[in-house]
């Protein structure tokens, strides 16, 4: 059965198995916390699909067993695919009580067997989570700022959103920094925002991605040679790739329509920070729509590979980037 994220409260008492899919990871986290916040760490059990498939018996023993201290359980299963469908069907047959199972994954194609099953069955719930729009993120930012009586211009808010890479969790983390600083500082300037939101772990990730998308082979190779990243850091780099590729896709689509690159960049929402406009302009000219789409697929596949093989995450990451810049002139 299909539902919207804001209607999950209507079904959470009578339905035990949920499938949350889509690119909006932050909203999934919020929905789980809001609707299943009564579950403590002690009665919340986290799995990855791979772990379950390796030992189905232990999984079933866990969801079916009850301890004196556990009145109910929350089971979170990440990175699910069609491979888990048979196990879900078997789980339904056990007539679960006092157990909530939430399956979490990214995109599911319309022909996905898991998705089709959840959409048709009335005793399970499937909820899509779409990317936040610029308007959504602006509203989130303004609501938080108003609540804390902080006055920022639209330009400041746009910059924070842009630096948060369109991710509501990053956005809220950056706004938390501003809230803390607002206790001793009443007025914020652009330089303050730039310093506060210098995300990263994020800065080098953003720089690397920009060099790659600008097809600057020399600087991309230099950064790859200078940096050895952990598995988590490589996932951050991939998320940065994903954000900038999706933005680039929208920009190229618009440029293909109006053939005016200045108009394309200046009218984009959320607005592109002025210091980034030259870089973005070069990226638009460098990539075709089908190449961007293929790159996005590569990034998603690479993240899956890294999560399955964290010990060789650098090799996996570097191979993907090298493949993309291999035919690029220096």
pLDDT digits (tens, 9 = 90+) for 180-230: 778 777 788 777 777 776 544 445 778 889 999 999 998 898 888 876 667
% of the chain at pLDDT higher than 70:
93
Q: Which among 229, 177, 181, 184 is positioned nearest to 199, based on CA atoms? A: 177
Q: Specify the pTM.
A: 0.63
**pLDDT above 80: residue 234:** yes
* Calpha distance 102→77 (Å, rounded): 6
- List the domains of the chain with CATH numbers: 5-129 (3.40.50.300), 141-196 (no CATH), 201-325 (1.20.272.10)
Bridge partners (DSSP) of residue 305 are none
pLDDT, tens digit, 9 for 90 and up, residues 102-153: 999 988 889 999 999 999 999 999 999 988 888 899 999 999 999 999 889 8
pLDDT, tens digit, 9 for 90 and up, residues 244-287: 999 999 999 999 999 999 999 998 987 887 878 999 999 999 99
The more confident residue out of 50 and 117 is 117
* Calpha distance 215→115 (Å, rounded): 37
pLDDT of residue 179: 85
Structure tokens at 43: 């009665």
């Amino acid at each position: 059965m299909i539902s919207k994220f804001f209607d999950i409260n209507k079904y959470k008492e009578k339905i035990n198995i949920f499938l949350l899919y889509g690119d909006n990871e932050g909203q999934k986290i919020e929905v789980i916390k809001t609707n299943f916040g009564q579950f403590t760490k002690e009665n919340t059990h986290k799995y990855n699909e791979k772990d379950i498939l390796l030992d189905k018996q232990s999984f079933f023993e866990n969801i079916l067993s009850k301890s004196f201290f556990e009145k109910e359980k929350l089971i979170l299963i990440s990175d699910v695919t069609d491979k888990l469908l048979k196990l879900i069907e078997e789980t339904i047959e056990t007539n679960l009580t006092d157990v909530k199972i939430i399956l979490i994954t990214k995109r599911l194609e319309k022909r996905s067997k898991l998705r089709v099953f959840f959409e048709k069955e009335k005793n399970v719930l499937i909820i899509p989570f779409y990317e936040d729009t610029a308007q959504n993120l602006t509203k989130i930012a303004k609501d938080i700022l108003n609540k804390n009586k902080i006055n920022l211009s639209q330009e400041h808010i746009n910059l924070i959103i842009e630096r948060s890479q369109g991710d509501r969790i990053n956005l809220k983390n950056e706004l938390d920094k501003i809230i803390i600083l607002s206790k001793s500082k009443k007025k914020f300037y652009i330089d303050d925002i730039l310093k506060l939101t210098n995300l990263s772990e994020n800065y080098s990730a953003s720089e690397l991605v920009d060099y790659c998308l600008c097809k600057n082979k020399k600087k991309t190779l230099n950064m790859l040679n200078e940096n050895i990243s952990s598995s988590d850091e490589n996932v951050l780099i991939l998320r940065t790739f994903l954000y900038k590729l999706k933005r680039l896709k929208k920009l190229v689509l618009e440029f293909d329509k109006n053939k005016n690159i200045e108009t394309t960049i200046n009218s984009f929402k959320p607005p592109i920070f002025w210091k980034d406009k030259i870089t973005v302009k070069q990226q638009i000219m460098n990539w075709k729509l089908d190449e961007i789409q293929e790159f996005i697929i590569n990034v998603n596949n690479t993240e899956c590979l890294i999560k399955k093989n964290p010990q060789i995450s650098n090799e996996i990451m570097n191979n993907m980037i090298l493949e993309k810049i291999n035919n690029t002139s220096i």
